[in-house]
């Protein structure tokens, strides 16, 4: 049953177990896309500004979080509204708008409110260490976008960034098994085992990035460009006729 729930990705929404530790991330990627699609549909159909919908969604998320402390059914509803990760989505949406040129920003006060509200929710729903870590990340993120951190132009750092997600997946599914296997064979743990496994995971990640991920990205980009060109030709021919 756990396997079936994981295959159709329902487990994360109903509080089920994950058969793979990395699957939690896919749950929220899918959910966030659904949430944004729903907001876009409501905005188009009922002519409600999306920033008002974002704030309403945050309020509903926070309300269900508080109610879930007293009534367990609200825990499921809280998960369906994005759970604890909703705050990070809203931080990103608010930052994207606030980092635009001043003349391009619409509803600036509301986006500031959205950002501050998400920060307050983060403080109360995460532990202090996580909150501090997020604030440090936001500082680096904003300055990186504004190209004020020259060290990030380093090829080695960029390379590690490119393979970081692959490494995350590999270390969780293969790296730990290798490490436990070495401990089992040699009947002890040594720091050298972790270093060896880390180097192997980085090597495999670099190989997969160069010969698997990059070619797929290029192919997908070519397909999208081709479809865009065809759609443009269709529009032009329609206008001409």
Predicted local confidence at residue 126, as pLDDT = 85
Predicted local confidence at residue 1, as pLDDT = 82
Predicted local confidence at residue 102, as pLDDT = 76
Predicted local confidence at residue 111, as pLDDT = 92
Residues 6 or more apart whose Cβ sits within 8 Å of residue 12: 18, 23, 24, 27, 28, 31, 79
Listed by start position, the domains of the chain span 1-149, 154-241
Q: What is the mean pLDDT of each run of 10 residues along the chain (241 residues)?
A: 82 80 80 92 93 93 92 88 90 90 81 93 88 92 85 87 90 89 92 94 95 94 88 64 51
DSSP 93-139: HHHHHHTS-GGG-SSHHHHHHHHHHHHHHHHHHS-HHHHHHHHHHHH
């Amino acid at each position: 049953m756990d396997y079936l729930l994981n295959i159709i990705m329902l487990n994360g929404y109903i509080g089920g177990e994950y058969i793979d530790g990395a699957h939690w991330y896919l749950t929220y990627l899918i959910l966030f896309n659904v949430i944004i699609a729903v907001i876009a549909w409501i905005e188009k159909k009922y002519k409600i500004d999306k920033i008002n919908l974002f704030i309403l969604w945050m309020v509903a998320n926070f309300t269900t979080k508080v109610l879930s402390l007293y009534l367990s059914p609200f825990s499921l509803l809280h998960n369906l509204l994005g759970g604890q990760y909703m705050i990070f989505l809203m931080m990103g949406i608010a930052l994207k708008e606030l980092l635009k040129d001043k003349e391009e920003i619409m509803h600036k006060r509301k986006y500031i409110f959205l950002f501050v509200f998400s920060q307050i929710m983060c403080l109360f729903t995460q532990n202090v260490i996580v909150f501090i870590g997020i604030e440090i990340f936001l500082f680096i993120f904003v300055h990186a976008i504004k190209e004020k951190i020259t060290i990030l132009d380093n090829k080695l750092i960029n390379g590690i960034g490119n393979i970081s997600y692959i490494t995350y997946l590999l270390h969780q599914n293969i790296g730990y098994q290798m490490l436990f296997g070495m401990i089992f064979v040699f009947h002890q743990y040594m720091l050298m085992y972790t270093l060896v496994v880390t180097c192997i995971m980085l090597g495999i990640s670099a190989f997969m990035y160069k010969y698997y991920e990059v070619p797929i990205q290029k192919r997908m980009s070519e397909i999208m460009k081709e479809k865009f060109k065809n759609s443009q030709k269709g529009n032009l021919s329609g206008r001409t006729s």
